[in-house]
Amino acid sequence: MRYGIISDIHGNLEALEAVFKELEKQDLDKILCLGDVIGYGPDPEECVALVRSRADIILAGNHDYAPLGLVDTSFFNIYAKTAVEWTASRLSDETRTFLEQCPLRAEFENFTIVHATPSRPEAWNYILSIDDAVENFPHFKGQVCFIGHSHVPLIIEEKSDGRILVHRKNMVRCDSESRYIINVGSVGQPRDLNPRAACALFDSERLEYELLRVEYEVGMTQRKILDRGLPAFLAERLALGQ
């Protein structure tokens, strides 16, 4: 099966539309969304509706739960908190009900998907170091765990002898002896200094993974952020990819 995998859209409709346009060109069997469809960006309702119409599954991220009061936002920075309040004021009851029932983890064939970490998805921790990876490898079924959350694409490989390798490349043919944790980056708020929207392809038979980067109209999203009274920093960071 060929999968399209997206994560961290964050209410950025222009980036999401560009990514779906790209994914339409691929011959995909399923589209999976790893969560954070909303939060930060100016089009939360529209993004939820579009992802629901295209994706086969949508996991919950911390920013999907935040406006529902389902996560502790005391650790959110001021921009995120402001955006959570703004987003909460824009969500329809129907969308709230939908987001509330989104799962935190799912398994397909030979891989697992979560938003944050497979060991404790509900804790919203990050996998940023080798130690984080070592802790998480025992906690998923199959050969690969796809994650989002940090907005930084990354491929972490656990060799059969326990060695951990970190790859910063956009393609990998999985070694049948290794296991992988792969961060698919962010559609709507990339933080790897590359402002283009990220989305991923995975062929479960050939064990081939590829990360795509897609241009979109950043200026349009920035204008909407400012027009709708969201913090200017949230617009500025989109052009910088950070």
Residue closer to Zn ion, measured from CB, 8 or 157: 8
Region for residue 137 given its phi and psi (left: phi exceeds 0; alpha: psi -120 to 50; beta: otherwise): alpha
Residues forming beta bridges with residue 32, ordered by sequence position: 5, 57
By C-alpha distance, which of 148, 121, 163 is closest to 211?
148
Residue that has been written with the tokens 């209410």 in this structure: 11
Residue 192 in the binding site for Zn ion (CB under 5 A): no
Q: Pattern 5-44, binding to Zn ion, x per CB under 5 A?
A: ---x---------------------------x--------
CB of 102 to Zn ion, least distance (A): 14
- Please enumerate, as own/partner, the contacts of 81-85 that have beta carbons within 8 Å and a separation of 24 or more: 82/230, 82/231, 83/39, 83/40, 83/41, 83/230, 83/231, 83/234, 84/39
Which of 36, 158 has the CB closer to Zn ion? Answer: 36
- 148 vs 158, which CB is nearer to Zn ion? 148
4 vs 148, beta carbon nearer Zn ion:
148
Number of residues that bind Zn ion (CB under 5 A): 2
Residue identified by tokens 């170091």 is 129
Q: Which is nearer to Zn ion, 8 or 22 (CB)?
A: 8
| Residue of minimal Cβ distance to Zn ion | 36
Query: Shortest Cβ distance from residue 149 to Zn ion (Å)?
Result: 6
Shortest distance in whole angstroms from residue 36 CB to Zn ion: 4
Amino acid at position 100, single letter: E
Element (H, E) at 203: strand 197-203
d(CA 196, CA 240): 10
Q: Least distance to Zn ion from the beta carbon of 8, Å? A: 4
Binding range to Zn ion, per CB under 5 A, among 4-12, 71-79, 157-165, 213-221: 4-12
83 vs 218 by CB, closer to Zn ion: 83
Nearest to 160 by CA among 143, 146, 172, 184: 143
Please answer whether residues 13 and 220 qualify as being in contact, where contact means their C-beta atoms are separated by less than 8 angstroms: no
Which residues inside 60-119 make contact with Zn ion, applying CB under 5 A?
none
CB of 7 to Zn ion, least distance (A): 7
The residue among 240, 236, 178 whose CA lies nearest residue 40 is 236
Least distance in Å: CB of 170 to Zn ion? 20
- Applying CB under 5 A, the residues found at the interface with Zn ion are 8, 36
